[in-house]
């Protein structure tokens, strides 16, 4: 599999990506984790699996551009949401 490369300058030019151009690799991993949490727990507008984890993921995604979290912070949030 080829290496994935993101060009920060290209991200800066995008209307919906410019706020993510300065993420660290760990913050990008956190963002992808949250997207995965949300997408695997909502199907056709309905919750499947742990609803609380889906809610926490969506709320955190909505705030991510203001307060990005890294992978370890997302892991802790999801662990707490599973309880």
Q: What is the pLDDT of residues 28-40, one digit of tens each?
A: 999 999 999 999 9
Residue 62 is assigned to a structural domain of this protein: yes
d(Cα 83, Cα 66) in Å, to the nearest integer? 26
pTM: 0.86
Q: How many domains does the chain have?
A: 1
Residue 18 is assigned to a structural domain of this protein: no
Residue 63 is assigned to a structural domain of this protein: yes
Q: Is 19 exposed, middle or buried (CB count within 10 Å of its CB: 0-12, 13-18, 19+)?
A: middle
Residue 17 is assigned to a structural domain of this protein: no
Q: Domain of residue 57: give its range.
A: 23-81
Average pLDDT over residues 34-63: 93
Residue 55 is assigned to a structural domain of this protein: yes
Residue 53 is assigned to a structural domain of this protein: yes
What is the 3-state composition of the chain as percent helix, strand, coil, each rounded to the nearest 5?
60, 5, 35
Q: Binning pLDDT at 50, 70 and 90, where does residue 12 land?
A: very high
In degrees and rounded to multiples of 5, residue 3 shows phi and psi of: -70, 140
d(Cα 51, Cα 17) in Å, to the nearest integer? 28
Residue 13 is assigned to a structural domain of this protein: no
């Amino acid at each position: 599999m080829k290496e994935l490369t993101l060009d920060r300058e290209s991200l800066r030019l995008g209307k919906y990506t410019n706020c993510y151009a300065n993420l660290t690799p760990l913050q990008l991993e956190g963002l992808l984790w949250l997207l995965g949490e949300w997408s695997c727990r909502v199907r056709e507008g309905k919750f499947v699996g742990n609803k609380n984890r889906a809610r926490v993921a969506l709320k955190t995604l909505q705030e991510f551009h203001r307060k990005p979290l890294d992978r370890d912070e997302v892991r802790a949030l999801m662990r707490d949401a599973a309880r």
